[in-house]
């Protein structure tokens, strides 16, 4: 009886806290939004993760699930938008593949000039065939046995030879994952070209919400170049086999065994999808994590102490918590395949019409006070399940285990440096150039 009464009071207190946070956030958005509008900086203001969290606070308090007739995403067909902010509902949406489908297939087919990639597929034979085959080629035990040691070694070598200053993007966070695609995937190509192709194609597939016509032209050109490289590379490898234990050779071995989905075209398309997901994802997340830590001197000191003490687990927790505050992406989107209901039998119940795009705001989910203790605090003892950096459910990123291992490995030697700091001026800030991904980010340290 006492427990039930206590739970009622806890629930009421949480509700009150959510409402207060919503009101405070609304006031902040009105005041600071007006200031930013007058100063001409409304765009950067709205793009800040802290601003987005204020928006999520308001929605969570007053409209946790809201359906709009407005079409926000222009790049994939839809009839409106539903925004979901509660963690329970976000995970529910990402788990209900029959109701809420991934939409990337139409653009993925344009990149391959024909077939889909499994991250753009709904459940079915094609999805199971391709995922199962690629799990045989890219094995989970490769992460601790091959990928992680290589990333640790190369990152340490790069930082050691940097001479007290580094462009994190060009010299480290793009280079290490590219070398992984070269030595482990067996299909890295020329470094600068591969980094440009995969960055533009990731942007086109997942982040081009406005259907930019210029980006479409760039993506079609880059996709054709990447297809040509992979076709030629696969043919050359078959003509002159190597003994390298890489993903490409494993795929070719599966092809000889008549494994479904392992034709030359199937191998090419699967490698194309893996390459697009590997390089820009690891690079951007690595930069965002260190950028957030540099904004938090106390947490930076803690992460550096953990790195120097060899406490890799604790250091990694600093990295993931930093990415909670400065996420790689604030949301994932799915399209309703039929009329559906989110959060039935609750006051936040919302009807979703067939064709509407559902925004599962993973960034809001990771700050939900109904599910997380002290969501506004930077805590390094949160369980891994707290974070949703690479998606959830059937369509969680295929390389999530690689990302989880490689990103802290890239950052560890940087965090070990004395008096780690940003380079002076604009050079010490993340520069995206003309893309949606970091192009330069200069740091310095005492030698």
pLDDT tens by residue, 248-299: 999 999 999 999 989 999 999 999 999 999 999 999 999 999 999 999 999 9
Amino acid 102: pLDDT: 93
Contact between 321 and 372 under an 8 Å Cβ cutoff? The reply is no
Amino acid 397: pLDDT: 83
The second-level CATH assignment, the architecture, of 92-350+362-446 is Orthogonal Bundle (1.10)
Could you tell me the pTM of the whole model?
0.94
pLDDT at 3 over 80: no
Strand pairing category for 100-101 and 340-342: unpaired
Question: CB under 8 Å to 59, separation ≥6 — which residues?
Answer: 66, 83, 85, 364
Domain boundaries, the chain: 1-61, 92-350+362-446
Amino acid 6: pLDDT: 63
Amino acid 2: pLDDT: 60
Residue 263, classified by CB atoms within 10 Å of its CB into exposed (0-12), middle (13-18) or buried (19+), is exposed
Rounded to an integer, the average pLDDT of 181-204 is 95
């Amino acid at each position: 009886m006492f427990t039930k009464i206590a739970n009622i009071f806890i629930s009421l207190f949480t509700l009150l806290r959510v409402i207060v946070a919503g009101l405070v956030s609304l006031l902040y958005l009105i005041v600071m939004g007006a200031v930013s509008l007058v100063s001409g900086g409304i765009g950067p203001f709205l793009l800040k993760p802290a601003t987005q969290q204020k928006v999520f606070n308001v929605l969570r308090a007053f409209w946790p699930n809201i359906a709009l007739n407005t079409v926000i995403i222009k790049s994939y067909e839809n009839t409106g938008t539903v925004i979901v902010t509660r963690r329970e509902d976000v995970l529910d949406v990402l788990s209900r593949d029959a109701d809420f489908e991934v939409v990337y297939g139409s653009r993925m087919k344009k990149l391959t000039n024909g077939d889909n990639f499994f991250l753009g597929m709904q459940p079915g034979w094609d999805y199971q065939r391709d995922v199962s085959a690629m799990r045989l080629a890219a094995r989970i035990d490769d992460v601790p046995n091959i990928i992680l040691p290589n990333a640790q070694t190369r990152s340490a070598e790069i930082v050691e030879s940097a001479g007290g200053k580094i462009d994190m993007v060009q010299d480290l966070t793009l280079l290490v994952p590219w070398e992984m695609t070269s030595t482990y995937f067996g299909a890295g190509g020329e470094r600068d070209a591969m980094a440009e192709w995969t960055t533009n194609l990731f942007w086109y597939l997942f982040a081009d919400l406005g259907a930019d016509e210029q980006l479409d032209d760039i993506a079609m050109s880059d996709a054709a170049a990447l297809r040509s490289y992979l076709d030629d590379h696969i043919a050359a490898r078959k003509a002159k086999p190597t003994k390298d234990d890489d993903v490409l050779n494993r795929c070719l071995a599966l092809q000889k065994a008549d494994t479904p989905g392992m034709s030359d075209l199937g191998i090419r398309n699967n490698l194309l999808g893996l390459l697009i997901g590997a390089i820009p994802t690891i690079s951007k997340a690595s930069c965002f994590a260190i950028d957030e830590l540099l904004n938090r001197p106390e947490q930076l000191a803690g992460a550096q102490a953990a790195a120097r003490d060899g406490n890799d687990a604790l250091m990694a927790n600093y990295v993931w918590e930093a990415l909670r505050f400065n996420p790689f992406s604030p949301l994932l989107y799915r399209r309703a395949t039929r009329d559906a209901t989110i959060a039935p039998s609750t006051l936040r119940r919302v009807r979703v019409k067939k064709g509407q795009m559902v925004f599962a705001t993973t960034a809001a989910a990771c700050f939900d006070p109904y599910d997380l203790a002290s969501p506004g605090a930077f805590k390094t003892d949160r369980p891994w399940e707290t974070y949703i950096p690479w998606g959830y459910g059937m369509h969680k990123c295929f390389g999530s285990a690689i990302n989880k291992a490689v990103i802290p490995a890239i950052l560890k030697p940087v965090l070990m440096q004395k008096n780690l700091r940003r380079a002076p001026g604009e050079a010490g800030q993340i520069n995206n150039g003309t893309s949606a991904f970091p192009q330069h980010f200069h740091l310095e340290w005492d030698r």
